[in-house]
């Protein structure tokens, strides 16, 4: 009989306390952690992504962190392939697997696979990116709200990559991306899973978000952005598909991420540091709201308080993995 590996997921909004809770739970279970944060895969983006510190990485083995340079974006299909292969390798060593992160789409594709939709079209994508360059990302987002309001509700109005992809799918098929996903229903299930979402009451969460960004500044976020610039990640060369518009130079990935984007605007003199901070905190709160909306729509998620219920989460995962099957001699080197 083919027994599916068991995989635990710890998800939730940004700054809720997922990482610290996951470390504690992983240590108790002898588990290894697979990252599901879409920005922690990139080298040099440490402070602004709240990446685990060196001491924390020594406490518990982590995977899919620092595996890509920021100038080489990773798409969700590649991430899903890497994550699934990593999970199988960990399970083969008889160790529990915990996937931890707030990127809802990354979590979904690990659990359930990727919807079969058309591959990218260079001609359609070039046209859409040219429109964005000339009229702004907001123009494309408003178009997406018209043709696929469900997808638009899940995508940030500044996330040009995902906006273009959703519009591209609609243009190529005449069917909204959200409808393709609904038909697929993400039914491919290679793993047995348990998904726990850790959060805080809204007011407390928002205060935590504000404090965390202030702490990032104290830790040297401005210097981190400057170091990324020094490595050439302030701007990327335009892709071949954008050759028709010589003025089009898409911002490199570090500068599209919340926190990095606002600090870059401060360094360019567009805002004061205080205004950039306020904008980053506001954007982070909006991100948390979108993440809560995403995970609350997931019927598999068990919701727990990130401060009060870590022991309850540990108990759930102990039961899920099976006490008798746990390898609890401590994390591997």
Q: Does CATH number 1.10.20.140 belong to domain 122-182?
A: yes
Q: Which residue has the tokens 């928002």?
A: 206
Q: Which tokens is 28 given?
A: 């108790």
Q: Tell me, yes or no, if the two domains 6-115+186-218+290-325 and 122-182 fold the same way.
A: no
CB 91 within 8 A of CB 3: no
Where in the chain are the domains?
6-115+186-218+290-325, 122-182
Q: Which tokens is 41 given?
A: 């895969």
The β-bridge partners of 98 are 8, 33
What CA–CA distance (Å, rounded) separates 235 from 250? 7
Tens of pLDDT, residue by residue, the chain (333 residues):
568 999 999 999 999 999 999 999 999 999 999 999 999 999 999 999 999 999 999 999 999 999 999 988 888 888 999 999 999 999 999 999 999 999 998 998 898 876 666 777 888 888 898 899 889 999 999 999 999 998 899 898 888 988 998 999 888 888 888 877 666 555 568 999 999 999 999 999 999 999 999 999 999 999 999 999 998 887 543 343 433 333 333 456 667 899 999 999 999 999 999 999 999 999 999 999 999 999 998 999 999 999 999 999 999 999 999 954 444 333 332
Q: What is the DSSP letter of 5?
A: P
What is the per-residue DSSP string for 67-108? -B-TTS---HHHHHHHHHHHHHHHHHTT--EEEE-S-HHHHH
Exposed e or buried b per residue across 285-318, where buried means at least 16 C-beta atoms within 10 angstroms of its C-beta: bebbebbbebbeeeeebeebbbeebbeebbebbb
What CA–CA distance (Å, rounded) separates 279 from 328? 44
Q: What is the CATH number of domain 6-115+186-218+290-325?
A: 3.40.50.300
């Amino acid at each position: 009989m083919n027994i599916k590996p068991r995989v635990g997921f710890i998800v939730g909004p940004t700054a809720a306390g997922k990482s610290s809770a996951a470390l504690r739970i992983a240590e108790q279970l002898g588990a290894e952690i697979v990252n599901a944060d879409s920005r922690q895969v990139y080298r040099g983006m440490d402070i602004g992504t709240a990446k685990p510190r060196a001491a924390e990485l020594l406490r518990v083995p982590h995977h899919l962190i620092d595996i890509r340079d920021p100038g080489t974006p990773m798409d969700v299909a590649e991430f899903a392939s890497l994550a699934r292969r990593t999970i199988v390798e960990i399970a083969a060593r008889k160790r529990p697997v915990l996937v931890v992160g707030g990127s809802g789409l990354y979590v979904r594709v690990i659990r359930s696979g990727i919807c079969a939709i058309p591959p990218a079209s260079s001609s359609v994508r070039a046209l859409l990116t040219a429109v964005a360059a000339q009229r702004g990302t907001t123009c494309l987002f408003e178009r997406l709200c018209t043709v696929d309001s469900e997808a638009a509700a899940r995508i940030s109005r500044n996330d040009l990559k995902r906006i273009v992809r959703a519009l591209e799918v609609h243009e190529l098929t005449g069917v909204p991306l959200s409808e393709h996903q609904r038909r697929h229903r993400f039914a491919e299930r290679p793993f047995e899973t348990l998904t726990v979402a850790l959060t805080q009451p809204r007011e407390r969460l928002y205060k935590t978000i504000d404090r965390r960004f202030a702490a990032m500044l104290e830790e040297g976020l401005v210097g981190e952005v400057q170091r990324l610039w020094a490595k050439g990640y302030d701007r990327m060369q335009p892709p071949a598909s954008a050759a028709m518009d010589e003025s089009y130079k898409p911002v490199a990935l570090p500068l599209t991420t919340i926190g990095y984007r606002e600090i870059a605007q401060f360094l360019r003199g567009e805002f004061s540091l205080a205004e950039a901070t306020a904008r980053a905190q506001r954007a982070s709160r909006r991100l948390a709201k979108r993440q809560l909306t995403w995970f609350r729509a997931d019927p598999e998620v068990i919701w727990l308080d990130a401060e009060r219920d870590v022991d309850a989460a540990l108990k759930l995962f102990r039961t899920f993995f099976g006490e008798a099957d746990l390898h609890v001699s401590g994390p591997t080197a």
